[in-house]
Amino acid sequence: MSRIKKKFDELASKDKKALITYIVAGDPDLETTIKIMNVMVEEGADIIEVGIPFSDPMAEGVSIQKGHERALQNKTTLQDSLDLISSFRASNQATPVVFMGYMNPFESMGAKEFCKSASEKGVDGMLIVDMPPEESSEFSREAKENSLDVIRLIAPTTNLSRVKEICNLSSGYIYYISVKGITGANDLDSEDVKEKVKLLTKETNLPIAIGFGIKDAESALSLKDIADGIVVGSVFVELIGKGGDVVKNIASKTSELSTAIKS
């Protein structure tokens, strides 16, 4: 059984929701990234999405764009990100890790090589933002062969027939984009999200995670009853941008969100 499925099953049996946290690999540097991952787990993160730095992160708001830029200043590559997971797995075998990024760095490495290496290093799933189902056949095939989950996005604009198609091609969990917009957007409408996610649950047995516009404990709380997981990203990346004791600040923010979601 995949780590992702195991984690969701375990949470479901306790009637709990998953806190999914996002940070960019190499932001502000790889050594800190691994410390951040460890404290996130200690403070209640259930799954970690690791952003793969890209020069042109088109779906990201300013906070996460800056995270990508910081990581690229250190020349963090996809290979570095894979090696990072090896190190993380030396002390953590339980927490699922999902790589979230943009097509070109993955393409550059090659679908086959990436999927094989990701699986060996202990990555559990991938979410390539600019890879809709129509453009995903090669990565889907290689992912399947290497037992990697392919997490796909469903947006507020996605119509029902596409929803069905995307659900059929997904594994791990479904990532529902809660706003029309970019990451860290301000206009979360939780009533609308509730309605859309309700429809979505009829189409899939996979867990549903909600992300993009969730900024604080309050917004996380407003959505936790309808989803299986809540994704929080911009808040953490912003904390890294602010500097200071980044690891400590992220620990306390994770704890705050975890308490809200697990209450």
Partner 1 sequence: MSEDTFPDSKGRFGVYGGRYVAETLVPALDELDKQYKIIKTDKNFLNNFRKDLSDYVGRPSPLYFAKRWTEVLGGAKVYLKREDLNHTGAHKINNTVGQILLAKHMGKKRIIAETGAGQHGVASATVAARHGLECVVYMGEEDINRQSLNVFRMKLLGAKVVGVSSGTRTLKDAMNEAMRDWVTNVDDTYYIIGSVAGPHPYPLIVRDFNAVVGEEVIEQSKKEIGKSPDVLVACVGGGSNALGLFYPFIQSKDVRLIGVEAGGLGLSTGKHAAPLNDGKEGVLHGMRTYLMQDESGQIMETHSLSAGLDYPGVGPEHAWLKDTGRAEYVVANDDEALESFKELTKTEGIMPALESAHALAYVKKLAPTMEPDQTIVVNVSGRGDKDIDTVASIEGIRL
Binding residues (CB under 8 A) for partner 1: these are 53-59, 61-62, 65, 69, 72, 77-79, 102-109, 129-132, 134-135, 152-159, 162, 166, 177, 180-182, 185
Considering beta carbons, is residue 187 or 225 the nearer one to partner 1? 187
Considering beta carbons, is residue 103 or 247 the nearer one to partner 1? 103
C-alpha torsion angle, residues 67, 117, 139, 193 (rounded to 10): -40
C-alpha span between 189 and 212 (Å, rounded): 12
Minimum distance from residue 16 beta carbon to partner 1 (Å): 28
Considering beta carbons, is residue 204 or 255 the nearer one to partner 1? 204
Q: How many helices (H) and strands (E) does the chain have?
A: 12, 9
Minimum distance from residue 237 beta carbon to partner 1 (Å): 14
Considering beta carbons, is residue 139 or 236 the nearer one to partner 1? 139
Whether cis (ω within 30° of 0) applies to the bond prior to 96 is no
The gap from C-alpha 41 to its chain's centroid, in whole angstroms, comes to: 14
- Cite the beta strand spans of 148-228 per DSSP E: 149-150, 152-154, 174-177, 208-211
Minimum distance from residue 190 beta carbon to partner 1 (Å): 18
Q: β-strands 125-128, 97-101: how paired? A: parallel
Minimum distance from residue 162 beta carbon to partner 1 (Å): 7
